[in-house]
Chain A
Amino acid sequence: MQLTNPALAALTNHPHRSRLFCSIWRPRTLLAATLNVGAPTRGLEAIPYSGGTETGYADIQPGHILWVGTQDGKNDIGRLLIKDKSGNQAAGTITVAANSLVWRPTYKITVKEKRELVTRPAKTVDGVLYKDSNLAYNGQNSLDWPVCIIGPHRVGFLDNAGSITFNFDASLSYPEITEFQWVTSGGTLTNPTGATTSLIITESDLNSTNKGQFYIGCTVTNESGTHTGYRSVFVHIDDVGSEYYPYRRWSLNSFPQANYEQGSWLTRLYVHGTADYDTFEDVAQIILWHAPKYGSSGHAPIGVPGAENQFFSGYTLRGTVVTDWEKSTVIFEAGSITEVMKRVRAMPFSLVAEPVAQTWYQYTHPMNINKATKHAVKWGSNLLDLCDVFLPVNNTTPFKTHDFQEGSLYQQTQGLLDRISGRIAANIAGQVWMQTKGQYLPDAQRAALPVAATLNKSYQREEVVLVDRGAKSTGAVRVSGATAEVGTGEQLGKIIEVPYCSIAPGEIPFPAGGDMTSLDNMIVSSQAEADRLSGLVLAVENRPIIEVRYKFAGNWVGAIDIAPEEIWRLSLAAADNRRGIQWTNQRLYVRSIDTDINIEAGSILLDVVFEPEVAGDTGVPFDCEKEMPQTPMPEGPGRGQTDDDDDPEEGGSGGDRALLSFSDMGSGMYMLKKGQTSWLTRNGALAGNQIENKGGIVDPYWNDNDVDESIILKTNVGNIYRSESGGESWSQLNTPTLPNYWGDVGSPTGLTFTHIIANPFHRNDFYVLAEWRTNTLWRGALLTTSSGGSGWAWHEIDGDTPSHFKPIRLALSGRGGKLWITGWRDGQLILYRLAQATFNIENTYNLGVCPTINDLDSQLYLACPESLPGNDDHIYIAGRMVNPVGLVGTFALIKSVNQGTSWSSIINNWKVNIAAACRIKTQANGVPRFYIVRRTAG
């Protein structure tokens, strides 16, 4: 938001003081009833009910949520999107979205006056695909559907005259809206068919039924159809004794913080008062807001129009109930709607551009990122109904096809946006932007981004910190992408892809940059755009100043946000820093915001991390079929020692191999070449004690004739290194930002890469386990590369988001294409089986109880799968396991020879703890050899 001079004057007028409030949507119950069907079928969609109570049947609307529970008012069985209704308060039928619930006649149903984010399930009947449960394809993918934009949710106090007016503006709705129709659940609307309206609420509109909560909706129409958006309106009375005063018994367990890469605002609330399921129901809408004053003269709040008084707008994500005899609290994590998007599952589907779409899977050419994204969220969810969504309308480059992978709604849409270097991000008021990162926009579009303000010292608290990169970290960037066009000649009548590839800085990478970045499957309109993008990405990844950490003086909340992308400017005098860095109006992008809030003191302070904008030279065209060049490594002292290494075998796992490397406990890394007896130290630039001692060294089975050109990865705490010179020289690799599948608030600490394995059949594939802690919680995930460490991707392991998850070991079951991972999860040892091709979890196995992580350490519960390469069905697990996978007893080594379908024990009742992993290798005749290190008492 561009800050006006009066706003900037207010923001520098101290003291800043704020009264802080919390509003929670407490939905009215519209209907409570019992199922009225004797033998309901699984997946019932038309739900007959009887014995209905409450008084809100008339207000039930499509888009409300039906709770299904074993008792009145519960939703322990399910929450379903309502699509239709018939009948009356006492009896009738509610039609819901497609589902797989096993319905029972005793179930209770409840309808709440509430809208929450859900996905719209698709269904196939007799080979015909229906979107949103029952929508047959009827030309939808040739139309440009309207999107309703009416601003954020609202909250406020009645004024002294007992009234409050909320102004709404739908004029940003798109595209080409011709009609507007406003509705509300209470109060008075002015001009209900205009692009703008005002909702006036007076004290007489507040009653025990609506609890001071209202809905406003707007239906917009264009030539393609209609769309209705709804927003919540909270109205309060500024009297602590009033029943309409905001919720009082709360405090902040973790201050609101925003992260651009995560696309959301997150916070954590203590609730000290009533926190039952009526007051804080699941996915409850929460707005944190304030009544700020800037100096003695005061000023209207500064921020998102209509939501200037808000400093958080989102939903509860999950609660942690703390109960003891003395005190009881509930801690709720709350996040923007983008966090809710991460928690709703979306079904996979594909879109292919065709001259004229005939099915849901086709899209009429030209399909672009805006249309495809709109398709995903409109037909796959109700996101557009619940908040403003600004789609990437400026990018009109056609493309041919996209596969929306199974995952969360967030992953699906982000997966598409990755193809334009875009991000989904919500602002402080819960509006969602899907746009290309500002850094990667074409120059003209970058220049057109709004400038929020130019920072000066009077805005600044304490010092400014610039994080310096030092040497370049990226040697080269390759972009491969395409656009789509109507074919000619033999391709006439078809939509064809026109590929463009580019590399920067050229085919000879920067020698100092150890990493290679590859952007594949991008949507680019021309060779010039591919060249521009490769050069820009290279410049961004090698930018000399990685980030600027800036602390704002006072309450700047609302004035600065992670979305939409906007520019802040900063000038630095060389004399003000010891590096002599001189900036004049350096353009900056907001990448994270941390707040520091003291409710009692009424103070809000902001710490912001900016990313400096950079310019880059364009890359050069590159043959799309060509392998990416590798960074040339300097000659090392060990090169030439491989002359006598004459292992004749090619890559693969059969037969004995030279042991290339292993890690001693903190003392280093060594190599023993085949046919030799002397160990060679291979620590490269690392000290021995820098090397992780938890199995972090790769023993690449695939190593072939030229040992010194094999890729070896190794880790120390928090870092991964690569050697392509037999360990003589090492370069540190860039790994992506840690994932946050759990919606954690707080910074991860103690990142450790605990285990690396290589794929013996794919030379450049490596799999790495990572663990860390956020606050007191163990976290972990799988990190993979298919480019020898040049590019990495995170994968979620613990799909059901436990409180604690700590991965332990991993293995690849040869040609079977299965990854096996053991881990400790909330008091259990768990084995996961993942498909190696997709990294999706296929099955989980319980390996026994392990009450705390201390038990894992002190009792040496070490579960270690190491498979038989080439013998693809086998999986062996060593460690002390109590009643694992259905076996009864205490076991030390178990196996499955059919990919986990059945299990048997090899060693049981072994009383001695195992102190290290088992290792299983095959002999030439296929007989497995087991190597197990154990520790005796003492």
Chain B
Amino acid sequence: MAQLEYGLSLVSNRMTFLPRMYPAIPCPEGALEEWSVVYNNGDGSTVGDGYPKEIWKFEFLTQEQVNKLRSFVGLAFGAVSRQVYLRTKDPFGIFYTFRAIMHWPADAATKRDRQGIYRDLEITFTQLELVA
């Protein structure tokens, strides 16, 4: 059930879950990195700084699904990123809503096969800020 909670929106309070889009978008495999920069502290501990980063990995998307993802967040032809709200899970499996910048993968075209199927497409979200 939790898989259904992966969602996107352009406003914080009206999340659209991916499987409920049309065409439906399969839920990605999400990987949230809690810090962007990790280093050793002078006292021997490890410190993490910077915003969390999320990567949504889609094993299989059709051209229509890709088009839907782009149009849903208003990524016109030539646009690479924009600010969105996403719902995804933290390392403990609990879903939260974040404000973030969504980056369309620069190598998306190389992920598409002859049948127009995108395999292992990875969409990166940076500057995740917890909303709810």
B41 interface hit (Cβ, 8 Å)? yes
B50 touches A17 (CB 8 A): yes
State which residues 118-132 of B face A: CB under 8 Å: 126-127
B41 touches A602 (CB 8 A): no
- Which residue of chain B lies nearest to A17 when distances are taken between CB atoms in the complex? B51
A602 touches B127 (CB 8 A): yes
Residues of B within 8 A of A464 (CB): 42
Give the residue among B36, B43, B51, B126 with the most A Cβ atoms within 10 A.
Answer: B51
B49 touches A600 (CB 8 A): no
Shortest CB-to-CB span from A233 to chain B, Å, is 26
B39 touches A602 (CB 8 A): no
Q: How far is the CA of A14 from the CA of B46 in the complex (A)?
A: 10
The secondary-structure label for the interface of chain A is loop
A171 interface hit (Cβ, 8 Å)? no
| The residue from A458, A554, A598, A602 contacting B43, defined by CB atoms under 8 A apart | A458
Shortest CB-to-CB span from A878 to chain B, Å, is 54
A459 interface hit (Cβ, 8 Å)? yes
Given contacts A601-B36, A602-B127, A603-B36, contact A553 B51 (CB under 8 A): no
B41 touches A601 (CB 8 A): no
Given contacts A14-B49, A15-B48, A16-B49, contact A601 B37 (CB under 8 A): yes
A119 interface hit (Cβ, 8 Å)? no
Per-residue B-contact encoding for A783-825, CB less than 8 Å = 1, 0 else: 0000000000000000000000000000000000000000000
Shortest CB-to-CB span from B102 to chain A, Å, is 12
Q: How far is the CA of A459 from the CA of B126 in the complex (A)?
A: 26
Residues of A within 8 A of B127 (CB): 19, 600-602
Shortest CB-to-CB span from B84 to chain A, Å, is 11
| The residue from B34, B35, B43, B50 contacting A457, defined by CB atoms under 8 A apart | B43
Shortest CB-to-CB span from A549 to chain B, Å, is 13
Shortest CB-to-CB span from B104 to chain A, Å, is 14
Shortest CB-to-CB span from A248 to chain B, Å, is 11
Residues of B within 8 A of A927 (CB): none
- Which residue of chain B lies nearest to A576 when distances are taken between CB atoms in the complex? B42
B42 touches A601 (CB 8 A): no
Shortest CB-to-CB span from A58 to chain B, Å, is 40
Q: How far is the CA of A461 from the CA of B47 in the complex (A)?
A: 9
| The residue from B34, B41, B50, B101 contacting A461, defined by CB atoms under 8 A apart | B41
A554 touches B49 (CB 8 A): yes
Given contacts A19-B127, A462-B40, A553-B41, contact A601 B53 (CB under 8 A): yes
Residues of A within 8 A of B40 (CB): 461-462
B50 touches A458 (CB 8 A): no
Give the residue among A240, A553, A605 with the most B Cβ atoms within 10 A.
Answer: A553
Residues of B within 8 A of A605 (CB): 37, 39, 49
B83 interface hit (Cβ, 8 Å)? yes
- Which residue of chain B lies nearest to A604 when distances are taken between CB atoms in the complex? B49
State which residues 411-436 of A face B: CB under 8 Å: none
A88 interface hit (Cβ, 8 Å)? no
State which residues 446-491 of A face B: CB under 8 Å: 456-464
Q: How far is the CA of A456 from the CA of B42 in the complex (A)?
A: 8
A555 interface hit (Cβ, 8 Å)? yes
- Which residue of chain B lies nearest to A459 when distances are taken between CB atoms in the complex? B42
A461 touches B42 (CB 8 A): yes
Nearest 6 CB-CB pairs, A to B? A460-B42, A601-B36, A603-B50, A457-B42, A601-B50, A457-B43
Please list 23 pairs of residues, one from A and one from B, whose beta carbons are closer than 8 Å in the complex, sorted by A's number.
Answer: A15-B34, A15-B35, A15-B47, A15-B49, A456-B42, A457-B43, A461-B39, A461-B40, A463-B42, A464-B42, A553-B41, A553-B42, A553-B47, A598-B36, A600-B101, A601-B36, A601-B37, A602-B36, A603-B36, A603-B37, A603-B49, A603-B50, A603-B51
